[in-house]
Amino acid sequence: MEKTWKPTVAGILSIVAGSLGIIVGIVVAILGTIGGGVLGTLGLPFVGGLVVTATVVPLALSAVAIAGGVCAIKRRTWGLALAGAICALLIPPPFVLGVLAIIFVTIGKDEFK
């Protein structure tokens, strides 16, 4: 089977989206900790749970996106590569990267072992 550029580009897009998602998660954690502490002293204790959720979700999606991107570049485990591309779609800032990653992983399915 001839290797094309599609899975490689899909993997790179997933890894870039995952990296941006990790940055978003860290920024949300920092800002949420500062803001959550201030709002918690004002009698809004539920803010801490929101901060944890808003931090954990992008980080978890980013981890799957990066793992799927690595699988796409290596052309292994098509299911994980597709899951990573889907998670790249769900990460807040770069929606377009996820859409393109899904398209390229799907088109390049025959190249996976």
Cα angle 73, 99, 10 (rounded to 5 degrees) comes to: 10
Residue 72 has pLDDT above 70, yes or no: yes
What is the number of H-type helices and E-type strands within the chain? 4, 0
**Distance between CA atoms of 111 and 35, rounded to whole angstroms?**
47
Q: Three-state DSSP class for 5?
A: coil
The per-residue pLDDT for range 2-12, each reduced to its tens digit, is 889 999 999 99
Among residues 52, 47, 83, the alpha carbon closest in space to that of 68 is found at 83
**Distance between CA atoms of 1 and 68, rounded to whole angstroms?**
21
For 27, 44, 54, 73, 81, the CA distances from 39, given in Å and listed in that order, are 18, 6, 16, 44, 40
pLDDT at 19: 95
Q: How confident is the model at residue 94 (pLDDT cuts 50, 70, 90)?
A: confident
Q: Which residue has the higher pLDDT, 82 or 95?
A: 82
CB 17, CB 84: distance < 8 Å: no
Residue 90 has pLDDT above 70, yes or no: yes
